């Protein structure tokens, strides 16, 4: 995974939820990334909005979005979530001066609208930012297994020097190979072995296996 591929996924979603922190509260709004290059992912706002001020003050941003947010109710009273993918980014941002955007736009088609708006709307001039460092997860869900034989495919990566923990519970050497965890896992995320093994890309961190294990051999997943 690289920034170009990530941006392709982002474009398929479009508008996402951008969250900042102000006075110890989380503030979220709908926004979108408007370009990328080797320095990161670009986004913008009117600099004088509270959002713009929060961005400058904290330098922190989390972003989340889903490719299909529809929920359907089934005849038997259940809920159906169509196959979709979620993107989650947790990262650091910095302000990008207007002259830098204008210069980058000469060779980057994606930033041309931002450059034009800097000229046309003065309030946009100081509202460009780049997420220059982040850890990223793409959570590809097919809960009814319509297109493959397991529910989840989680991809984690980072850019700009960020680090992250892998997904998934951790099975220790205390495992006595009884198979109860594999039986309990509807995500098909546990493989037999000595000890048994969790496949991180398939694991939802749900904890059913932890509850099923008779010898407490399974540790919870680490924070992303
Ligand atoms: S339930 Fe616990 S002891 Fe049994 S196979 Fe899984 S990890 Fe090993
Ligand atoms: S935490 Fe849930 S999804 Fe992950 S291995 Fe255990 S039962 Fe399966």
How confident is the model over 189-214, as pLDDT tens digits? 999 999 999 999 999 999 999 999 99
Better-scored residue on pLDDT, 106 or 21: 106
Q: List C-alpha distances in Å: 46 to 18, 54, 116, 117.
A: 15, 12, 14, 11
Query: How does pLDDT run across 109-126, given as a tens digit for each residue?
Result: 999 999 999 999 888 888
Strands (E), the chain: 16-22, 25-31, 33-37, 40-44, 60-66, 72-73, 79-80, 84-95, 128-141, 152-159, 170-171, 190-191, 197-198, 218-219
Structure tokens of 130? 């780049």
196 lines ligand 1 (CB under 6 A): yes
- Residue nearest atom 7 of ligand 1, based on CA coordinates: 175
Write the pLDDT tens digit of every residue in 38-64.
999 999 998 788 888 888 888 999 999
Q: Which domains does the chain have, with CATH numbers?
A: 3-159 (2.30.110.10), 170-219 (3.30.70.20)
pLDDT at 12 over 90: yes
How far apart (Å, rounded) are the C-alpha atoms in residues 40 and 35? 9
Note the pLDDT of residue 50: 83
What is the rounded average pLDDT of the residues 179-198?
97
CB within 8 A of 69, min separation 6: which ones?
84
The pLDDT value given to residue 116: 94
Q: Tell me, in angstroms, the distance from the centre of ligand 2 to residue 169's CA.
A: 7
């Amino acid at each position: 995974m690289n920034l170009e591929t990530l941006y392709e996924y982002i474009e398929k979603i479009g508008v996402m939820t951008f969250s900042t922190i102000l006075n110890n509260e989380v503030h979220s709004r709908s926004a979108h990334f408007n370009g990328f290059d080797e320095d990161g992912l670009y986004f913008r706002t009117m600099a004088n909005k509270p959002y713009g001020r929060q961005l400058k003050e904290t330098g922190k941003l989390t972003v989340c979005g889903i490719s299909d947010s529809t929920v359907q109710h089934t005849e038997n009273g259940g809920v159906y979530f169509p196959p979709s993918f979620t993107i989650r980014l947790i990262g650091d941002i910095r302000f990008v001066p207007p002259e830098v955007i204008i210069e980058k736009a000469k060779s980057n088609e994606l930033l041309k609208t931002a450059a034009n708006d800097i000229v046309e709307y003065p309030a946009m001039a100081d509202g460009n930012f780049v997420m220059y460092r982040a850890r990223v997860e793409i959570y590809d869900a097919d809960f009814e297994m319509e297109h493959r034989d397991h529910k989840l495919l989680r991809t984690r990566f980072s850019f700009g020097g960020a680090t992250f923990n892998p997904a998934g519970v951790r099975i220790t050497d205390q495992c006595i190979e009884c198979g109860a965890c594999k039986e309990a896992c509807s995500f098909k995320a546990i493989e037999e072995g000595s000890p048994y093994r969790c496949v991180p890309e398939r694991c939802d961190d749900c904890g059913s296996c932890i509850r099923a294990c008779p010898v407490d051999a399974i540790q919870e997943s680490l924070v992303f």
